[in-house]
Structure 1
Amino acid sequence: MLPADDALFNTFDVESNLNGMKINKPTLVVDLDRVEANIRRMATKMQDNGLIFRPHFKTHQSHFIARIFRKYGVEKCTVSSVSMAAYFAQDGWTDITIAFPANVLEAEEMNDLAARIQLNILVDSVEKVNLLASRISASVTLFIEVDTGYFRSGIFHENVDEMAKIIDAIISFRYFTFAGFLSHTGNTYSQSSAQNIVQLFDESRRKLSDLKRHFSPKYSDIVLSMGDTPAASLAEKFDGIDEMRPGNFVFYDLMQLSLGSCRDTNIGVAVYCPVVAIYPERNELVIYGGAVHLSKEKTTWKQREIYGLVSFPTSDGFGIPMKEAFVSGLSQEHGIVSMPAHELEKIKLGDILAVFPVHSCLTADLNSHLLSLDGDRIEKYRTY
């Protein structure tokens, strides 16, 4: 959590506090020690609970960071698109779930992948299964995506009759294998307390378990797959679930901090932004770091809507988030930072501030690469 007392800072020295990194524009910086600690902690928790750990790689989108997972016995992963699956397949990942409704228009690309790896895709209707069957010519594993109350995508959990028809359709095609039921409890992100998050997860877990009990007499080896970082971080019981697919935990962010999923010292990325204008009369400054660098995700912090918290980078990391300084507004390239006068007077033009993102998945996606605290460039997948 944030410190109880205001942090005191000396006049900022860009060169000494950036380990020689030459930063002159918004740059996504990663603390690899924090990232590895987050991976190790989650992998241990999943293993201790006897779960298949299939982390979602859409957060970091990086071969380099994905390889850290291998150190902790992770051999399977989740992605959010066919092209992202291809990116990780290039680096030797051979069991990949695309946790997004299967896009029949990418059947050719799915065929190419399925010829090289175990590819797992999502369906939620007989129509989707039939369309895929007319275009897929390689072995593919299919999960039925189940909506347990998030109301985004998937077949509603009570619609067991339709699910039976979907399963029958799946097993009728030579290239298809029925894997089980998959759900994302994304509504944990809107909960107001850790207790509510765990309660919602438990309810969704029971709904999937009911499906497994219903269909197990006829279909063996049904896998129940769930995944979200708040639940994976906070829940202690995973009874009935076979697989978890959290992703955001690798970096965490302010949204997770506000939910109680992590501490500020677990946040693994920050966007380093130059100060380009200072307005003491408004208790504000402007950073070169706007919506195209941070995203426009916001969260409520101490009864204010904010787009990020800020700190002075130190010689060994991001520094401590300042208690009363925050990104209060964003346009395309501009970031407006509000802070008390006694903090503002320590800042000069050309200084670098570290901005802790509200939603690290979107922030990472917006940036072409990451930079380690040692100044090493880490390449990543580009969505577009």
Structure 2
Amino acid sequence: MVSKLEKISSPTFVVLKKAVEANIHHFKQKAQFNNLTLRPHFKTHQNNTIAKQFYDLGIRNIAVSNIAMAEEFSHFQWDNISLAFPFNIREIDKLNKISENTQITILVESIETLDFLNQNLINTIGVYIKIDAGYNRTGISYKNTAMVQQLINKIEESDKLILKGLLSHFGNTYSAKSKEEVISIYSISISLIEQLRQGLDQAYNNIPISVGDTPSVSIVDDFGNVDELRPGNFVYYDWMQYKIGSCELNQIAAVMICPIVAKHNDRLQIIIHGGAVHFSKEGYSENNEIRYGQAVNMDNDLSLSLIADTFIKSISQEHGIVQCTEDSFGKFEIGDLMVFIPIHSCLTANLMKLDIEFV
């Protein structure tokens, strides 16, 4: 472990800058090769240092989860910021303010929201129509062509709204257990959106399509008739993405480092200061048990290697219980630091925004 990290005394989220840059560069090249716009989702990192890496590598369109996040990153002068979440009409004043100097695109999925926007918007904004292609979280069903066309007509009639296209998120890929399953989910979902698009009035048969989830964008090579990719997790990756097959170990760009506070020989368990308030409580099922983080070695060159059968077995607010083998248990002492790959880096990064190191 590099000397800078040896000084860590409390749970710390550590970002590997070269791996981040390599991930951004790879996805930018992949988008360019397919003649697509890369619009990375910033909800994963929520960090200005990472934002600058994107900007310096030529990225000019981004996605965020809310207006507060848009405000945080607006000083970079992006060409466009997309609020990739159904617009909350209670934030109309904030939308009017930020859209004075920033090009904003929002998501809608109801006539009610469009009517409200037409009555209350001050500035012109772009609009994507949110489509549900089978994930069943939110959006207009791909089956409801008439409703989508109704929203299109409403947007086109407005002097404050600019139609940008159809947008969907294939979040069901995160439950996939193989690359083949990810490709299948993507192919089915895209075909359903294309079916919807061809059912619209002829003038909209080529309306732009924006999609984005890290498993699909990592694994799929042929994206079909889409125009924009909006992955977010790829900037760091995590244990879930590694197990799905989205990344290699050397692409994982963020880890948690936690101090050891106790050891229990009879159970081959290590107690770390690192709990749900640091990692989140999202787990990943392996071998019929839930795991909350995978232990790894970190060499001086920042390369990672797995510590076999050593993982966070359970988690409470501040405690993490690490299940070890006899071999791994004997290699750590109270006061040592352990390194873990988070299960879901988006949630861990959000919790650890104030306790972050870059190496």
TM-score normalized with structure 2 length: 0.96
The answer on 1:95 being equivalent to 2:95 is no
What code does the residue aligned with 2:290 have? E
Whether the aligned pair in 2 keeps the contact of 1:313 and 1:352 (CA below 8 Å) is: no
Q: State the Cα deviation string for residues 2-42 of structure 1 (Å, max 9, x = none).
A: xxxxxxxxxxxxxx743365210000001111111111111
Measure the CA separation in 2 of the matches of 1:323 and 1:225: 40
Contact 1:228–1:247 (8 Å) recurs in 2: yes
Q: Which amino acid aligns with 2:45?
A: H
Asked if 1:321 corresponds to 2:306, the answer is yes
More helix by share: 2
Name whichever of 348-357 and 165-174 sits farther off: 165-174
Structure 1 window deviating more from structure 2 (113-122 vs 147-156): it is 113-122
1:152 to 134, 137, 143: 137
- Deviation string, structure 1 residues 124-149 (Cα, Å, up to 9, x no partner): 11111111222211011111000000
Q: For the residues of structure 2 that align with 1:267 and 1:288, how far apart are their CA atoms?
A: 22
- Match for 1:372: what amino acid? F
**After TM superposition, what 4+ stretches of structure 1 lie above 6 angstroms from structure 2?**
none
Q: How many angstroms apart in 1 are the aligned matches of 2:304 and 2:30?
A: 28
Structure 1 distance, partners of 2:19, 2:32, is 20
Match of 1:179 in 2: 164
3-state SS in 1 of match to 2:120:
coil
Q: CA deviation at 1:216?
A: 6.1
Find out whether 1:79 has 2:64 as its counterpart.
Answer: yes
Aligned to 1:32: 17
Equivalent residue in structure 2 for 1:288, among 273, 277, 298: 273
CA RMSD, 1 decimal:
1.5
Instruction: Assess if the C-alpha contact under 8 Å between 1:101 and 1:123 holds in 2.
Output: yes
- Work out the CA distance in 2 between the residues paired with 1:68 and 1:20: 22
Moved more, 158-167 or 240-249: 158-167
Look up the SS of the partner of 1:320 in the other structure.
Answer: strand
> What is the letter of the counterpart of residue 257 of structure 2?
Y
User: Is the Cα contact below 8 Å between 2:82 and 2:105 reproduced in 1?
Assistant: yes
Equivalent residue runs for 1:179-328 within 5 Å: 179-215=164-200, 217-219=202-204, 222-317=207-302, 319-328=304-313
Q: How does 1:33-48 map to 2 (within 5 A)?
A: 33-48=18-33
Corresponding pairs, count: 358
Distance 2:59 2:312 in 1: 36
> Do residues 371 (structure 1) and 357 (structure 2) align?
yes
Partners of 1:299 and 1:54 in 2: CA distance: 28
What residue identity is the alignment partner of 2:88?
N
Give the 3 Å change call, closer, same or farther, for CA 204–231 of structure 1 in structure 2.
Answer: same
For residue 188 of structure 2, what is the amino acid of its counterpart?
E
- CA deviations 1:275-305 (Å, max 9, x no partner) are 0001111100100000000011111234432
Task: Compute the displacement of 1:91 (Å).
Answer: 2.6
In 1, are the aligned partners of 2:198 and 2:205 still within 8 Å (CA)?
no
In 2, distance between residues paired with 1:59 and 1:209? Answer: 28
Structure 1 contact 19–315 (Cα < 8 Å) conserved: no
Q: Which runs of 5+ in 2 are unaligned?
A: none
Aligned mates of 2:206, 2:90 — CA distance in 1: 30
1:28-62 residue CA offsets vs partner (Å, 9 max, x unmatched): 00111111111111111111011111011110111
What is residue 91 of structure 2 aligned with on the other side?
A: 106
What is the identity, as a one-letter code, of the residue corresponding to 1:195? Answer: E
Between the aligned partners of 1:233 and 1:43, the Cα distance in structure 2 is 11
Deviation by residue 1:75-126 (Cα, 9 ceiling, x = unmatched): 1001111110111112322401111010000011111111112111011111
Deviation at 1:237, TM superposition (A): 0.5
Structure 2 residue matching 1:348: 3-state secondary structure: coil
* Inter-partner Cα distance in structure 2 for 1:48 and 1:285: 47
Distance 1:218 1:91 in 2: 35
2:332 pairs with 347, 358, 368, which one? 347
1: CA distance, partners of 2:165 / 2:83? 14
- Superposed CA deviations along residues 162-189 of structure 1, whole A, max 9, x for unmatched, are 1111112212221111111000000011
